[in-house]
Amino acid sequence: MECSVTNGFGDSLDAPSAGEMLEFLKALPPDDAEHGAAWLTDASGNSLEFEVAGNLAFTSASGTRHLCRVSVERVVELWSLLASGDHAALEREPWQPGPRPPLSPDERRAHELRFAEFGRTQDRNFYDRLGVEDPSSPCRQPGCARGRVAQSTLCRVHHYENVLGKPCTFRD
Ligand SMILES: [Zn+2]
* 11-64 residue pLDDT tens: 999 999 999 999 999 999 888 877 899 999 998 889 999 999 889 999 988 888
d(CA 3, CA 20): 13
d(CA 42, CA 82): 7
CA 11 / ligand 1 centre spacing (Å): 31
Instruction: Measure the CA dihedral 46/10/128/47, to 10°.
Output: 0
Do the Cβ atoms of 21 and 80 come closer than 8 Å? yes
Do the Cβ atoms of 56 and 67 come closer than 8 Å? yes
CA 159 / ligand 1 centre spacing (Å): 7
CA 172 / ligand 1 centre spacing (Å): 12
Task: Give residue 160's identity as a one-letter amino acid code.
Answer: Y
CA 160 / ligand 1 centre spacing (Å): 10
CA 84 / ligand 1 centre spacing (Å): 39
d(CA 150, CA 81): 36
pLDDT at position 101 = 66
Query: What is this structure's pTM?
Result: 0.61
Length, in residues, of the chain: 172
Q: What pLDDT digit, counting tens, does each position of 86-133 carry?
A: 999 999 999 988 656 667 778 778 878 887 888 888 899 999 999 999
Q: What pLDDT digit, counting tens, does each position of 68-77 carry?
A: 889 999 999 9
CA 121 / ligand 1 centre spacing (Å): 22
